[in-house]
Each structure stands twice: as structure tokens, then as C-alpha cells.
Structure 1
Amino acid sequence: MFDTDRAAITDGPVGRVLLALAAPLVAQNLVYVANALVDTFWLGRVSEDAVAAVGLSLPIQSLLGATVVVAAVGTQILVAQRAGGGDDADARRLAVNGALAAFAVTAAVAIPVVVYAEELVTLLGADPALAGVTATYLAIIVAVLPVGAVGDTVENCFTAYGDTRAVFRVTVLSVLVNLVAAPALIFGVGPLTGLGVAGAALSTALSGVVGLVHVLAYAAGIRRDTFRLTREAFALDVGALREIVSVGLPLGGQRGVSELVRVLVVGLVAIAGGAAGVAAYTVGARVATLAIVPAIGMQQAAQSMIGQNLGADAPRRARRTTTVGTGIVVAAFLALGVVQFLFAGQIADLLAPDLTAAGRELSVLYLRILAASYWGLGGTYTLLAGFNGASRTRTSFVADLIKYWAIRFPIAVAAVPATATFGAFGVAVAPGLGWGVEAVFWAVAVSNVAGFLGLGAYFLYTTRRGMFANAAERANDGGAADVADD
């Protein structure tokens, strides 16, 4: 059912091909979400400090994830364009150089983070007793970040070629390794002594290494023949590196600005809403993380499909892929929003049955506010896929800069009392207007809808000016550098 050959990507029914490509990616992202809960599940049986160590390290991990995006997604976009144009040799060359860029960029940030891990977590507010164990967890996770970045980049090359099932299989194996290794390393088994928090980090690191070996085996032609790296592709190419970074850097910036706002918003919620507000925000964030999984899968599939069609000199089909994908996601997320709105109370009770009355009331409110904006949140992902597939990745960066910093953050600041200040990483920010934690909830929803509407208007404007036609011309000329305005 989900088999998709390269000819179908550039010639088959758009909606059906998109869904076939996206299905394994949606499943992969669901597995990722489940994998992220493994450490919390097992460490919750160790101590409260052990769980807190994972939670405190997450903001830093999320920010560092922006560096992975630079090479991984930049490579995917360019490889898809080359694959669509039938230039497999150039696609392989880009893949190898993308993996090198991924390793170099992530290593450059990983080394100082490992060295100064304890100082970083202290800036996040960890007390001396918690800082040490948190720093240990963070240092181990970040030390293998370059390995994971290389694996993600090679996986994205399979996605670029339309082989999304290979990516799903790699992810499943990695998660299975983590599921088995985590309890063994945390609690000990046989002659092995339990390592606690360090064991959880080592388990995650081991699963990343296994995933890299698995995807490299596929790339060597073992059991897969959709995308294969040949000996001729292993050559450093400065031009390819420059092209990858020029496309991927704005996407890394996009990830960075959004993650930083999320860190600051958590501080706002803590001040304006106290424990009940933080609990409500956490419930909403967890539900939203699951909700956007289909949109992320559709975005990844659409980026590859758009890139291949541009490489095949089919700009109209690239545009249709964007509009059909957006229509599918908006319709699906409207339905999802209705369900969440109607059953917000039951969802809150399922995820957090021990909430106080105030916490439950705020959770239900936030879930319903979020539900009303889901269609905009989901549709934004596929619209951005259109710009990204056309190598206009700076649009993604600017769109998120406006969405998070010009819309979400200013509204959210209004939540805190006029007599209070807040901050993150040791930086204080001016007081707000005292509107209460509900202002944060509305800030998220308003930014989701306004971001989609603004991006949709800009999409119509750029496509009328020939964005996809120009992108197809650049792709077939071998130069896919992003252009601010066509």
C-alpha cells in the first residue's frame, strides 16, 4: 500500500502519493515521541531528581537540535532536487558532503556544551545537588550528537528519494535498542551495576549509534537499492558544502528562534500561573506534540516530492503538491480540533488524573484554545514545505521569527504581573500587564492562526511571481541557493 517508486513521485496522483510517502514518516515520528518518554518512564522509578535531570536538560537539547537541522534538512532538499532531475551522482556527492557538514557543525557546538555542561544547567536554575546529575546526563547525550546528526542526514537522503519505509525501520530498531538497554543500564542486570541517570543517557546514545550503523548499511546497498552511496561520492566538495549550508542555515535559525521562545514562555507560565498553570501548559504541550506528528510527516514527504518535481522541471506539480498537502492537513486538523474541543476534560483526566481543580480547569481551557487553532498550526507545516522544497528556506526563518517573536512572545508577556520580572539563562525580561496565564494560552493560538494566514498570503504572492518556475530553473542549472525574492 505504501510502496512509492520515483516515477510516481513526479507522475502519480498527488494526494495518494503524498499520503503514501507520509505514512511511514508519521509512524516514525510517533515512535520518536514514544522513545522520548522511555527515559522519563524508567527514571520516574529511580527518584524525583532523576526525572528533573532529564527535564532540565531538554531546553538545551532542543536548542542544539537547531544545528542538526542545518545539514540534515538542507541535504534532503538538495538531494530531492537532484534525484528528480535524474542526477544520482550529484545526489550522492551532496549526501556525503551533507553528512560531513552535519558532523562538523554539531561537533563545533557539542564540545563546549560537554565541557561546560554543569555551568549551563546552573543557568537554567538547577540547584547544586541537581546540577551535577543533570550535567552528567546532558554531557553524555550531547557527546553523541554528531553521530545522530550524521544518521539523520543519511536518513533524510532516503526520504528525498521517496524511500520513507527505510527511515521508519531504522527508527524502530533504534527505539527497540533503547527500550531494552534503558532498564538494564539504569537499574543494572546480572554483573552490571545500575548507573541511574547516566545509564539512561548511555542507552539513548547506544540507540543512536545503532541507528547510524543501520542506515549506513542501507546506504551501502545492504537490503536496499533505492539510495546507495558509491566510492566515487566520497570526496570533499567545498561548493556542495556551501550550497547545503546556504539552504539549511535558515532552517536551523528557524528552529532556534522557536525553541528559545518556548523556553521563555515556560518562565512566563510559571510566574503567571504557578503550579496549576505549569501543569496545564505541560498537558497542552504534550497533546500538541502528538497532534502535530501527522503534519510533520506530511511536511517531510512534501519537501521531498516538491524537490523531485522541481528537479524534473515540473513546477506546476510542485505547487499542486503544496496546495493539496495543505488542504489535506487543514481538513484533518479541523476535525482533530473538534474532537479535542469536545473531549478536553477527558483528555486532561487521562494524562494528569491527579491535577488540582484549578489545574484541571486551566488544562481544559488550554486544550480547547489550542484545538481552535490546530488547523492553522498544521497547515503552516505544509506551506513551509513548499518554500523549503523550492530552496526558499529563509522564508521559513522569517515566518517563525514573526510568528514567535512578533506575535506569540509579546502577547504572552502580558500574562505576568506588572510587579514581576522573569528570565531564562540568567537574562531578566521586563514585566508584563498582569493579564494572567490565559494570555499565554491565547498567545499560542493566535500566533498559530496568524502565522498560517500570513504565510498563506505570501505563498499566493510568490507563486504568482513564479516562485516554483524559478526554483525549477535553478535546480536544473545545478544551483539551488535560496533567493529572498523572485
Structure 2
Amino acid sequence: MFDVSREDIVGGPLPRVLVVLAVPLVVQNFALVAQEVVDLFWVGRLGGTAVAGVGLAAVLVGLLMVPFMMLFTGTQVVTSQRVGADDEAAARRVPFTAAALAIPLAAAVGVVVSIGAEPVVALFTDQAQVATYAVAYLTAYILALVTTSLSDTLEAGFTGWGQTRVALYVNAVAIIVNVVVDPLLILGYGPFPRLEVFGAALATGIGYGVGALFAVALVARGRDGFRLTRDAVRPHLGTAREVVAVGAPIAGQNVGRQVARLVVITVVSFAGGAAGLAAYHVGSRVATVAFVPAQGLAQAATSIVGQNLGAEHLERARRATWIGVAIAAVGLGVFGVVQWLFPEAIAHVFVPDMAGTDLAYTVAYLQILAYGYWALGAIYTVEAGFNGAGETSVSMVSTLAQYWAVRVPIAVVGVYVLTFDVTVVFWAVTLSNVAAAGWLLAYFAYTSRRGLFERAAEAQRPGAGKNTDAEEGVAAS
């Protein structure tokens, strides 16, 4: 039901193709959010300080994931473009080459985390118990770095191929295992030890380890051309360069975003203490629920745009982007209205016993976030148009401006110069989202009329500067 062929992607009704491809991704992303909600629910049983510690660790984890996001995005874009050009042999090489890069990278990052977690955490909080929880979570997350690197690169290959239902299956397996193991390791039910926040991160690593094994099994079985072959599993230097070249701007984008988040969370800690950190973490998790549909649409649109450019259907790629923007902006706008009306009830879904200052800050953040939800939907989906065209640097520049030209200055000046309370940081988040949506939509409207997709299609034609299969084989040997 949720599989579409290459012919559908390059020739079928666009709204239907977008929705059909996006539904498994939306379900998958909701499952990911459910996993995070379950983590938060069980960690919430340990108290608000534990929630604050995991919230700080989550921002640091986001920074650690930057190089892997480069590989995941590069894998999806390059795979989709090669499938669109009807070059399955070259497309098969992409996710396997990316996985060969991701696994040793994860091991190296894990070594750095084991050495530097404690001093790095100390830079962002002076509250000893918050720091203890954050370090415990980061230390246990080393296993998750390795397992997610394999699982997500293969999943990106399935998504780029248009097999979003298979990507859903891989994540569903990982998440189900994680959700089952979570309470066992966090609270120590039955014969399991009580590991608290260490157990929360360890459960994530175990879940994605099972998911990675399932992904490998699916690829070994083969599906619609995406299968294990001797040529596919040999890393190709030319393919690796292309994945990194496409994904590198995404890495720059995420570095800028995650470092800015560290600055923001430092300001939150200064202005609001543990209550502010808890509110920021809960608000971030609720926002994650809100923009799940936009993420799914964006992932689907990236594959659709990439494949249509490979097939040189330029106007169709352009229309796919605008349709995605319209659906996402309206959908998230509706979600924002609901969140503005019922912030306290939503907060209690995440942390049932939240009260006092923690609850007051969380309610304020949820209502302020709601004003900018339409903008989040627009940002994700219009960036998909640029990413599908291989212009990932646009997303990078936009994100750097969003965080460093708008969000960080408003937060820092508001708290340290104007001495406002922590709610000024919450307004900085929403105002930066609205600003980014405005300039991205304007720039896409301008560039899409002035050769954005024509240049991308030209770059995909044979002889346009890419390595041929023979050249890649020589490079790999």
C-alpha cells in the first residue's frame, strides 16, 4: 500500500505520491518520538533534576550526531538521484559505502566521549546532580553511536530508493526493543539492575543494534533492486566523495545548530536553573511531536525531487516542493492551536507530577512555541527542495543565520543585558523559526525560477563531472 514505483515518483499524481511516501516516514518518526516520550516518562520517575540532566545530555548528543547526519543525508540524496537516473548498480553502492565510513567514525567519537564527557558537561552547568545525570547518559550513549550509524545509513538507502515502508520496519524494530528495555534498565525491574539515566541511553543502543541487524537481513534478502552484491559492498572512493560532498553542508548546518543550542541551554541554565532546563527539554520533546509530519513530508519530498531531477522532470520537482510546504505549514499550524489551548495538559502527559516553577516555565514555553509551528513546517519542506537538488549548502547557511543571527543574540542580550527572565529565550526560539521560514520561502521562489533545478539536472547527466563506474572501480582498487 505504501510502496510506489519509480514510474509513480516521476509520473504519478504528486499529492498522492507525496502522501504515500510520507505516511510510513511520518509513522516512523512518530515512533521515534514515542521512544523519546517513553524515555522522558521513565526518567521523569527519577525527578525533575534527572529530566534536566538528560535534557542537557540530549543537546550534546545532537552535536555528536553531526558527522553522521552528513552521511545519512548524503546517502539519501545520492541514492535517490542515481535511482532516478535508472542506474541501480551505482545506487546500491551508496548506502554500503556510507556505512563503511560511519562505523569506524562512531567508534572514534565514542573514544572522545569516554574521555571528555565530564569536563565538557561541567562547562554548561554548575549543578552537581544535573551534571552527574548528564555524564551518565553520555557515557552509555557510546553504544548507540555505533548501532545507529549502521542502522540509519542503510535506512537512508531504503528511503532514497523510495522504499519508505522498509525504513519504517527497521525503525519500528529498534524502537519496540528500546521501549521494552527502557523501564527494565532505568528502574531495575525483575532481575535487571537499576541503572537510571545510564539505562535509558543503554536501552537506545540495544534497540538500534537489533534494528541494524534487521536492516542487514532485509538488504541481504533484496528488495526492488536494493540488495547485497559483491560490487555494492566494496567501498568506492568516488561514491564516498560524492556522499560527503552532498552531506558536508548538512554537517556544517548541524554544527551551527547544535553549538547554538549549547549556548542557548547555557543561557537557560543561568536564567532558569533546573526548572528552566526541565521546561526547555519538555518543550523540545513536544515540538518534536509537532514537526514529525513535516519531517516525513520533507524526507519524501527530498526523494521525489531527487528522482525527478534524475529523470529531468524539472517542473514536477518544483511543484513537489511547494505542495509539501503547503501541507506541512497548514498541518503544523493546526497543531499549534491545540498546543496553545492546552499547554498544562500536554506538559502532564510528559511528566505527570510536574508542578510549581517547572510547570509554569513549561506552560509558557509550550504556548510561545505554538506561534511558530507553521514556520517549522515550511522550513523542513522547502529545505527538501534545495536538498533534493543537491544544494544542501542553502540549508546550512539558513540554519547558521537562524541560530546565530536571530536566536542566540535575542537570548543572550535578553538575559544578560536586559535582565529578562528565561521566557525571553523561549521567544528567541520562535522568532528565529519565523524568520528562517520567511527568507527560505523567498529564496526558493527566486532561485527555482532562475535555474536551480536546471543546474541540478545538468549535473546528473552522464559526463557532467561524475566518476563513471569504471573510474570508481579503479579508485576503489
Q: Same fold (TM over 0.5)?
A: yes
Aligned pairs (5 A) from 1:63-462: 63-125=63-125, 134-186=134-186, 193-221=193-221, 224-225=223-224, 227-274=226-273, 277-348=276-347, 350-351=349-350, 362-416=361-415, 431-462=416-447
1:101-146 deviations in Å (ceiling 9; x for gaps): 2224333333222233333333333666776665444223124413
Please say if residues 281 and 366 of structure 1, whose CA atoms lie closer than 8 Å, have aligned partners that are also in contact: yes
Q: Which piece of structure 1 moves more, 118-127 or 400-409?
A: 118-127
Partners of 1:438 and 1:138 in 2: CA distance: 28
Q: Which piece of structure 1 moves more, 140-149 or 122-131?
A: 122-131
SS at match of 1:125: coil
Partners of 1:53 and 1:340 in 2: CA distance: 25
Please say if residues 114 and 143 of structure 1, whose CA atoms lie closer than 8 Å, have aligned partners that are also in contact: no
Partners of 1:337 and 1:414 in 2: CA distance: 27
CA 1:348–1:478 in 2, change beyond 3 Å: closer, same or farther? farther
Q: CA deviation at 1:326?
A: 0.6
Q: CA deviation at 1:67?
A: 1.4
* One-letter identity of the residue aligned with 2:181: A
* One-letter identity of the residue aligned with 1:379: A
Please say if residues 301 and 321 of structure 2, whose CA atoms lie closer than 8 Å, have aligned partners that are also in contact: yes
Please say if residues 102 and 150 of structure 1, whose CA atoms lie closer than 8 Å, have aligned partners that are also in contact: yes
Identify which of 448, 451, 455 aligns with 1:466: 451
Partners of 2:154 and 2:348 in 1: CA distance: 41
Partners of 1:351 and 1:199 in 2: CA distance: 19
* One-letter identity of the residue aligned with 1:451: A
1:299-331 deviations in Å (ceiling 9; x for gaps): 111111111111111111111110111111112
Please say if residues 40 and 350 of structure 2, whose CA atoms lie closer than 8 Å, have aligned partners that are also in contact: no
Structure 1 unmatched runs, 5+: 417-430, 482-486
Identify the residue that residue 5 of structure 2 maps to in structure 1.
Answer: 5
Q: CA deviation at 1:153?
A: 0.8
CA 1:233–1:433 in 2, change beyond 3 Å: closer, same or farther? same
Partners of 1:449 and 1:471 in 2: CA distance: 28
* One-letter identity of the residue aligned with 2:315: R
Percentage of matched positions with identical amino acids: 45
Please say if residues 106 and 149 of structure 1, whose CA atoms lie closer than 8 Å, have aligned partners that are also in contact: yes
Q: CA deviation at 1:355?
A: 5.4
1:386-437 deviations in Å (ceiling 9; x for gaps): 0100111111100000011001111111221xxxxxxxxxxxxxx3222433
Q: CA deviation at 1:441?
A: 2.5
1:451-480 deviations in Å (ceiling 9; x for gaps): 111111111221122110110111223768
Q: CA deviation at 1:281?
A: 3.7
Partners of 1:408 and 1:310 in 2: CA distance: 34
Partners of 1:451 and 1:410 in 2: CA distance: 15
Partners of 2:8 and 2:272 in 1: CA distance: 51
1:477 is aligned to 2:462? yes
CA 1:73–1:478 in 2, change beyond 3 Å: closer, same or farther? farther
Partners of 2:465 and 2:360 in 1: CA distance: 50
Q: CA deviation at 1:348?
A: 4.4
Partners of 1:118 and 1:340 in 2: CA distance: 36
SS at match of 2:234: coil
Please say if residues 61 and 142 of structure 1, whose CA atoms lie closer than 8 Å, have aligned partners that are also in contact: no
Q: Which piece of structure 1 moves more, 437-446 or 378-387?
A: 437-446
* One-letter identity of the residue aligned with 1:303: T
Please say if residues 182 and 203 of structure 1, whose CA atoms lie closer than 8 Å, have aligned partners that are also in contact: yes
Structure with bigger helix share is 2
Q: TM-score, normalised by structure 2?
A: 0.89
* One-letter identity of the residue aligned with 2:267: L
Please say if residues 68 and 102 of structure 1, whose CA atoms lie closer than 8 Å, have aligned partners that are also in contact: yes
CA 1:341–1:260 in 2, change beyond 3 Å: closer, same or farther? same
Identify the residue that residue 22 of structure 2 maps to in structure 1.
Answer: 22
Partners of 1:143 and 1:55 in 2: CA distance: 19
Partners of 1:208 and 1:356 in 2: CA distance: 34
Please say if residues 158 and 226 of structure 1, whose CA atoms lie closer than 8 Å, have aligned partners that are also in contact: no
Partners of 1:113 and 1:358 in 2: CA distance: 33
Q: Which piece of structure 1 moves more, 298-307 or 337-346?
A: 337-346
Partners of 1:202 and 1:322 in 2: CA distance: 38
